[in-house]
Amino acid sequence: MDFQLTEEQREFKALLRTFVDKEIVPVAREWEQTGRYPTEIVAGMADMGLFGITVPEEYGGLDLDPVAFALVFEEIARGWMGIAGILGSHSLACRLIAMHGTPDQKQRYLPGLATGERRTGIGLTEPDAGTDLQGIRTTARLDGDHYVVNGSKMWITNARYADPLPVLVKTDPSASPAHRGMSVLLIEADTPGYQVTKDIPKLGYKGTESCEIHLDDVRVHKDQLVGGVEGIGMQQVLSALEWGRVNIAARSVGIAQRAHDEALAYAQERHAFGKPIADFQAIQLKLGELGTQVQAARLMAYWAADAVRAGRADGATGMAKIFCSEVALQAAIDSMKVHGGYGYSTEFEVERLYRDAILMSIGEGTNDILRTVVAKSLIKGETRVG
């Protein structure tokens, strides 16, 4: 068993770390607190080609392997998890189009998406349908050469920049089971009736917008149906979300690593009773546990990413997302405890890490739902422990 990154992956991680330390870390706290959109950081990511990490090389992308993909989100989330969100939703949508789009759809959209000239997200969640995607109510009725789309979407990352936005709809609301009547349409931002109505206020996950979208008699040409076939939208989305769970696991590792770094540095700087608090056994116990859990989470994330490379990996990605997200939250809490009262202050990084970590157990499927996914994978023999 080889637990080492390849030389190419190590060099790529070093490049990412330099970018994050130079362009993100110095401004993250101030920009997050003032609500400033990270325009310059987005431009820097575009210059590095990061908007093309899931785009095939023939369309100008980097087409990263899943482990290198995880490295991107680990490093960026270490600097500012919200920035990773900008890239995350975009990358999942690109992956969906690359895997399932028609040749015309790929040629039309992927080159611009790879450079960041175009941006995108993914329109799944609705006011009454989150983890239960089969419960969506947005419909698309075929009228001649166009689908007429009506409904709404919630919590859509990159909504104000997405063009096009892949939107999950019901092309046959009467289908049973419901997923057989679900499809994905690529809706362009200037389509009449398509409206981003508001930004949703959030506890954390700032830096990127999360919006509500209304679709009122939006006419979408049938050529915008992903893959050109109705009724397979759920399968298309789930195949992209497999990478999404690696994304969340890796972001969680980034948060946990930063929490560890902040706790370790503070424990050596802060003095009490005439010596650094790092000399006290109670602090050492926290630091030892924190470091152990971060490294375990990292290995779990890379293992899941490698499982995706090898084939379908619902169980592995579910395990990694569950474990890494819970390590991230506990790491943030333990780091706050090491900081004492200062951990509760917005003048220190750790309170932001805490707010961002909470989302990791919710996004890309709640951890409790994913536990059932993992269990079913184990029962079917698709995932093995040991």
Please give the positions annotated as active site. Answer: 364
CA distance 173 to 235: 17
Listed in order, strand segments (DSSP E) in the chain are: 139-143, 146-157, 165-170, 182-187, 194-199, 210-221, 271-272, 275-276
CA distance 255 to 357: 7
Q: Give the DSSP H/E element, type plus range, for residue 44.
A: helix 39-47
How large is the greatest C-alpha to C-alpha distance in the chain, in angstroms?
Answer: 80
Exposed, middle or buried by CB within 10 Å (0-12, 13-18, 19+), for 357? Answer: buried
Q: Pick the closest to residue 225 from 137, 97, 132 (CA basis).
A: 97
Task: Judge whether 273 and 279 are in contact, CB under 8 Å.
Answer: no
Q: Pick the closest to residue 280 from 295, 294, 270, 293 (CA basis).
A: 270
